[in-house]
Amino acid sequence: MKLLPAFAVALVLFVGGFAQPAWEAGLDGRMAFYQMTDFGIVLAGTERSLYAIDGETGQRLWRRETGRIRATAITPIPDTDVLLFTRDLGSRSRLAAVDLISGGRLWESEKVRGDVLQLAADPELDLLAIVVVRDTSGRLGSEMKRKPVIHMLRLSDGEQLWRRELDSDVEMMPAAFGEEGSEVAYTLDNYRPPLLLDGRLLVFYEGLTSYDARTGGEKERERFKVNEGGLALTEADPIFNDSHIFVSGRGRIRAVDRSTGKADWTASDIGSAAEMALLGETLYVRTGGQFTRLKDGETEGKGPYGVSAIDTRTGKVMWRYKGADKGITNFTFADEDTIVVADRDDLIFIDARTGKASAKFEHKVRSAQFVLLNERREVVVGGRDTLAAFRGERESWRVRHKAPDRGVLRIVTGIALRAVALYFRYGGIATSGINLVRTGGNVVGIVRSLRWSGLRQRFGSLDLTTLASNSARDYLTRRIYTYGSIAEFPRLANRIEGLAVVRPSSLVRRAAGRALPSGSDVRESVLERLDPVRQAERLSEHLLRRKRLAELRGRHMYFFTDLPRPADRRGLIGVNIHTGRDERRITISDPDPQFVTDESLGLLYSADGNKLKAFPIVQ
C-alpha cells in the first residue's frame, strides 16, 4: 500500500520536472530580442548589452555594452564565424564585424549608416554586399517606406569598394506582428536577398538591377513591381544552372546568359511566379499562391493559380495546368514525372511531361498551406493544426492538434504558427522532394553565394506556403569560412571530420599585419580567460555543433496545444512527419512569441523578462 503514495509523488515530480527549464540565464535588463546562431550560441539583446550565451549550458560567453539596440542591428554572415553589428552614436553610425565566438572586433567601418537587413558574400572573391536602411522603427499597421543603400565591402577588412543608393523608397515589412500601433522594427524580409554571381551583384528591390561587383557600375536594369497588393515574396527566388540564371517579374520568366548578362529568351504571360524549380532542361513555375500581408501578417490568396513547364533551351511554354482553382500550395515532386500541389479542397498529382492531372482527390485538411514528401515517399498535406499523409489516393495517417482556446487569440495564433514553422528551419531539402529527383544545380548554386535575409531568423512571421517554398534553399553547408578565433588555430580543421574549415586566402595574405580580434570593448569574455589548450577545446565544441546542425534534417513538426494527461497544461507536441506519431513534447504554458528550438541540442529557448530560459524537448 505504501507504493501508491510514493508512486504519486514520483509522478508529480516527473511531470513537474518537464515544466522546469534545463537552465536559465539572467541578463542585465529586459530582453528586447534573441536569436539562434549556427554554432549553438544564442544572441540576446537587452536595453544595455548584447550577450552571447552557450545554447547547451546557459553560460554567458561574452557581453558587449551596446545601449538599446534593435534585433535588426545584428546580422550573421552565413557559413562564417562573423557577426555584423551596427550602432548609432549620435550623428554617427558604426558597423563592426565581430568574432561570434569571442565577441572580439575584427574590423570597423564608419562609412555605413543604418542596420544591415540583407547581404550576399563571396569569401573566395573577398566581397561582402550589404543592404542597409536607417530609422527602421515604426508603428505596426502603418505603411513603412525607406530608401535602401547598397555597400560593397572587402569581407576581410571592411574597406568600402563602392556605394549605391536606390532611386526610390520601397515598402518594408514588420519584423513581427502583434498589437496594432505597437512599436516594431521594419525589415526587407519581403524581398529576395541580393545574389553575387559571375562577378555581378543582382538586387531585387525595384525589379532587377545588375551591378559590376568590383566597380559598382550598373550593367542592367528592369523595373517592375516586386510585391503585388501589399503581399510579401510574390515573385520567385532566382535559380540558375551552368549557363543561365532564371528570374521572374512582371508576369515573365527571363533566361539571362551568365557570361554576357543578356537575356536569351523571355517567356511572357506566365503570371505572378511565386516558386520555380529546375529539373534537367525543364523549368517548372508555380503561379499564384498564399502570401503574407505586410499590414497585419494575415495570409491572403492571390491568383491566377497554376503550374507551367518551360523548355530552358528555347523559352517555349510546354504546358500549363490551371486546375487548382481554389488556391494553391507550394509544389513538390513525388518522382521525376510527378508534381504534387494542393488547393483548398484537393490534392492534385500532375504529370510533369504533359501537365495533365493524373489524380485529384479530397485531402480534407482545413486551410491546407503546404505539401511535403516524407522519407516513405508519402505526400504530406499540412495546415496550422493538421497533417495528413497519402500514398497515392489512400490516406496513410492523419493527426490534428488544435491550438488552445485560452488566452489572447492573436498571441496564441501567432505561437501556434511559429510552432509549425519550426520544422522549416530543419526539414529543408530532405523533404522538399527536389532532392529525391535531381537538383538541377539550383539548390547548391544559391547556397554557394552565401545570401542572408531576416527570413531565416523571423520564419514565424511568414505564411507556411512561403516557408515550404524556400526551405530547400536554406539548408546549411558543411563548409565554414573563419575570420575570427577559429582562424588562429589552423589544426582545428582536422578535428571535425566532415566539416571543411577554410581560412580565406585574403585573410592569409593580410595575416602579417593583422591583429587578433580586439576584445577591448568586450565584457565577461570566457574565451579570453582560457589557456590555449582549453581555447582550442571550446572552439572545437562550437564547430562540432555547427557540423551536427548541417547534418540535421528535421523529422518533427510541432503544434502548440493543450497537452494530454498527465501534463494537463499547454505545450508543444512534436509529430514525426514520416510516421504521424506524437513523439516529442515540450511543456511550456506561455512561451515567448519569438521562441525557437535547437534541434541538435534538444532545447527550446524562450524569454521571460530579463531571463532567457531553455526547456528540454522530451522524447
Sign of CA dihedral 326, 345, 286, 298: positive
Tell me how far apart the alpha carbons of residues 189 and 193 are, in angstroms, rounded to a whole number: 8
CA-CA-CA-CA torsion for 472, 476, 479, 480, nearest 10 degrees?
A: 140
Complete domains list, the chain, with CATH: 3-30+553-616 (no CATH), 34-39+41-321+401-469 (2.130.10)
Kindly report the pTM of this predicted structure: 0.89
d(CA 151, CA 137): 21
Contact between 203 and 118 (Cβ < 8 Å) = no
The parts of the chain modelled with pLDDT lower than 70 are: 1-19, 89-91, 406-408, 428-449, 472-475, 507-520, 566-567
Helix (H, G, I), strand (E, B) or coil at 351: strand
What pLDDT was estimated at residue 400? 95
Q: Give the per-residue pLDDT at 510.
A: 54
Q: Please write the tens of the pLDDT for every residue from 337-395.
A: 999 999 999 999 999 999 999 999 999 999 899 999 998 999 999 998 999 999 989 99
Q: Do the Cβ atoms of 130 and 116 come closer than 8 Å?
A: yes
pLDDT at 503: 86
- The rounded distance, in Å, linking the Cα atoms of 487 and 478 is 17
* Chain Cα centroid distance, residue 383: 19
| pLDDT tens, residue by residue, 503-555 | 887 766 555 444 456 666 777 788 888 888 888 888 889 988 988 888 888 89
CA 229 – CA 208 distance, rounded (Å): 19
Buried b (16+ CB within 10 A) or exposed e, 159-178: eebbebebeeebbbbbbbbb
Q: Is 443 helix (H, G, I), strand (E, B) or coil?
A: helix
b/e map of 63-86 (b: 16 or more CB within 10 Å)? bbebeebbbbbbbbbbbbbbbbbb
The distance from CA 598 to its chain's CA centroid, rounded to whole angstroms, is 14
